[in-house]
Amino acid sequence: MARAGVVMEVGSDGVAVITMSNPPVNALALSIIAGLKEKYMEAMKRNDVKAIVLTGDGGKFSGGLDINVFAKVHMTGDVSILPDDSINLLASTIEGPNSAITLYYNISFKFYNQLNFRVLLSSDANKPSVAAIQGLALGGGLELAMCCHARISTPDAQLGLPELTLGVIPGFGGTQRLPRLVGLSKAVEIMLLSKSIRAKEGMEYGLVDATTSPENLLIVSRRWALGIADRSKPWISSLKRTDKLTSLSEARKILHVSGKHAKKIAPNMPQNQVCLDAIEEGIVFGGYAGLLKESRLFKEIILTTTARSLVHAFFAERATSKVPNVSDVGLKSSHIRKVAVIGGGLMGSGIATALILNGLLVILKEIDSTLLQQGIKTITANLEGLMKKGSLTLDKKNEALTLLKGVLDYSEFKEVDMAVIEKVPLKQSIFNEIENICPRHCILATNTSTIDLNIVGERTKSQDRIVGAHFFSPAYVMPLLEIVRTEKTSPQVILDLMTVGKIIKKVPVVVGNCTGFAVNRTFFPYNQAAHMLLHLGVDLYRIDRVISNFGMPMGPFQLQDVSGFGVALAVKPIFASSFEGRTFETDLLELMVQSGRNGKANGKGYYLYQSGSKPKPDPSIQTVIDESRKRALITSGVKPVSVSDQEIVEMIFFPVVNEACRVMDEGVVVRASDIDVASILGMGFPKYRGGLVFWADTIGSSYIYSKLKKFEDAYGRFFTPSKYLEERAANGLPLSSANSTPSQALQARL
């Protein structure tokens, strides 16, 4: 069944199998929900149906409610578009009267009238349902499964309620049924962390009743459903259960502690507390009251800026795989099996780690055995670090290491499908050396953050297969892969590198060739603006605090400490010559290094670092700052500028937005939302703000333009608004309007 829809087949055993189909993940579009209602009503009425099995087509149960519906709500502001089926379909038609009747016993009087109404409605649900789960059951998909009377699954199916990552809460009864099935603590953990678990783990917690192979899934589910119908198996309504719930006081304690923790680690995520409130309502007043509250809160939370931003980020991330003339011209990805990594330094070993972790064979090439051993040691240490964090088992680590081979010459390069050159000098000569050894189809990739790819490849005959693979450090952790193409890079090579990116679980964003490419170029004013503020007399620790409070993982000065000053010093002249007149230059970094400060690497930067404790401000830094201010001709006697926290955010981020405008204007990115994804995954821009350009559009182009003008008047050309920004401000247009606007993109999807 490939077309979207819901079908029902009634077998001679009296089991109606209802199958949802909406490729690729059987998302619950409004039409699917309507189809489910129709088939359920029919099954309930038919005399030849004794029990129901609910399943999904194409090896997947369901990826949850169709998120396009959220986007439509955001576009129109109309929450009535949302399906209101938590009670009518899930509680009444599928789960049945049992759950509603319970209310007579544990609900407060305030719901008495609604209760009678629901009991009346639920009279149709007189047959048991079993969910037959394969592949995944997420969000509304898992919620549908939880309102069935049992869940049979293949062992590796992925189960979870990731709604909070979209800025909403589970809205099909998840806040009520999950605690009743797995207990409150586990349910809170699964929901707040948006953690998906495998079905075999779900069985331990009581979420799944039995696991079986894909071949036997329908057989076992049919038998189970018939067993419930003839009462040889229990007929359990999840909403009715109380056996896994703790005492009220214990429950309140768990919810309170979880709320406090969530507020501390994610202060800008209102959905976390809202989710806990919905759970609490159900614990205090009963599951049905909880459903009502959940439904009401869902309709409120979906309209928040956080939900809008996170839904935008969801689609923006998926849009990166659609690259005109690459992904839409019928090309097929090549089979990439073996990759050569040339250079085993920090980046090379990080890239090799990412590759072997995901099953690719790696040939690590170094110039001598000492460096080679160091590279292998770093890769091993990377894997051990992951083991310590609990994200890798010993078996997986050993398995990964069997895929790694260290070499000192190019003899193995005859068979590689891709060669990645670490950020090393002499790139040109290395490309010349390997282009004749590697097979003709081999991708020649270089991990560089700034160097012009045209120059790297200019002396080779292989310019069509030269591409930039800009990884972010640590390469085996950071999720972004910036794929840099030149005008000569072939679409096949771009597609193949995108595929490798997906294999190693990165989000590949394809960008054009320019100094700094999309990410480093957009963000070069970030550090420079922080330096300008510092040289205008603003306290550096205050700047860091304000920017952290804005939602960045750390402030710009701490970030410089963590990255080390070497790269920043190396790229400084490159940016200065490429973007003449719009950089802010001081001697600060040079002075830092001269005073023995190399950043976190030697324990001394803008902060002092000691293992096991948080970075501490270093009062002795003031002499370095004073000297730098003096050299920048902002003498120490001058009164420091007075800026509000909001102005600090604006003076740091508006120049970044301004550069993003130039990046869009020059077509360095395919679409504005690619900058959103790159800023979130590459720079740690807060996802709940939707990404850099999305955030800027919530502020408005004319406001940003007017502020930059003001800053330009006061502090010079560093702040001069770009033409692109000026035009959009003049016409009252959003910055993202150059390419596909969110509404156009949505229209195309609906």
As annotated, the active-site residues are: 143, 163
Q: Of 102, 85, 145, give the one whose Cα is nearest residue 240.
A: 102
The site map against ligand 3HC for 357-396 (x = CB under 6 A) is ----------------------------------------
Q: Which structure tokens are listed for 427?
A: 């790139």
CA distance 141 to 46: 25
3-state secondary structure of 466: strand
Please, what is the minimum distance in Å from the beta carbon of residue 324 to ligand 3HC? 15
Does 100 interact with ligand 3HC (rule: CB under 6 A)? no
Among 137, 138, 225, 404, binds ligand 3HC (CB under 6 A): 138
- Interaction of residue 163 with ligand 3HC, rule CB under 6 A: yes
Q: Which is nearer to ligand 3HC, 106 or 499 (CB)?
A: 499
Query: Closest-CB residue for ligand 3HC?
Result: 139
Residue 202 binding ligand 3HC, by CB under 6 A: no
Quick one: which H or E segment has residue 211? strand 210-211
| By CB under 6 A, residue 318 contacts ligand 3HC | yes
Examine residue 170 and tell whether it contacts ligand 3HC (CB under 6 A): yes
Residues 264, 745: Cα–Cα separation, whole Å: 35
Query: Residue 676: which H helix or E strand, with range?
Result: helix 672-683
Site for ligand 3HC contains 139 (CB under 6 A) = yes
The correct pick among 162, 259, 599, 690 for binding ligand 3HC (CB under 6 A) is 162
Whether the CB-CB separation of 478 and 429 falls below 8 Å is answered with: no
Handedness of CA 181, 184, 190, 192 (dihedral sign): positive
**In the complex, least distance from residue 197 CB atom to ligand 3HC, rounded to whole angstroms:** 13
Stretch that binds ligand 3HC, among 108-116, 136-144, 182-190, 241-249 (CB under 6 A): 136-144
Q: By CB under 6 A, how many residues form the interface with ligand 3HC?
A: 22
- Torsion sign, CA atoms 351, 353, 354, 359: positive
Mask: binding to ligand 3HC, 6-35, rule CB under 6 A, as x and -?
------------------xx-x--------
Instruction: Give the nearer residue to ligand 3HC in terms of CB position, either 295 or 701.
Output: 295
> Minimal distance in Å, beta carbon 150 to ligand 3HC?
21
- Of 36-95, binders to ligand 3HC (CB under 6 A) are 63-68
**Is position 179 an interface residue for ligand 3HC (rule: CB under 6 A)?**
no
Nearer to ligand 3HC, 143 or 435 (CB): 143
Out of 57, 143, 281, 674, point to the residue binding ligand 3HC (CB under 6 A): 143
- Minimum gap (Å) between residue 96 Cβ and ligand 3HC: 20
Counting every residue, how long is the chain? Answer: 750
Beta carbon nearer to ligand 3HC, 139 or 375: 139
Q: Which of 157, 164, 166, 239 binds ligand 3HC (CB under 6 A)?
A: 166
Q: Which is nearer to ligand 3HC, 170 or 290 (CB)?
A: 170
**574 or 746: CB nearest ligand 3HC:** 746
Closest CB 123 distance from ligand 3HC, rounded Å:
25
Nearer to ligand 3HC, 318 or 488 (CB): 318
End-to-end CA distance of the chain: 21
The answer to whether residue 482 forms part of the interface with ligand 3HC (CB under 6 A) is no
How many whole angstroms separate alpha carbon 82 and alpha carbon 103? 26
Q: Beta partners for 17?
A: 9, 53
Minimum Å gap between C-beta 67 and ligand 3HC is 4
Query: Does residue number 397 form part of the binding site for ligand 3HC (CB under 6 A)?
Result: no
Whether the Cβ atoms of residue 171 and residue 140 lie closer than 8 Å to each other: yes
Q: Whole-number minimum distance, CB 66 to ligand 3HC, in Å?
A: 4
CB burial string 429-468: b at 16+ within 10 A, e below? ebbeebbebbeeebbbbbbbbbbbbeebbeebebbbbbbb
Q: How many helices (H) and strands (E) in the chain?
A: 33, 19
Distance CA 434, CA 462 (A): 10
For residue 509, the cross-strand partners are: 482
Give, for 340, the enclosing helix (H) or strand (E). strand 338-342
Angle in degrees, CA 155, 158, 159, rounded to 5: 105
Q: How far is CA 303 from CA 168, 227, 290, 308, 335, in A?
A: 9, 44, 20, 7, 44
Residues making contact with ligand 3HC (CB under 6 A):
24-25, 27, 63-68, 136, 138-140, 143, 162-163, 166, 170-172, 174, 318
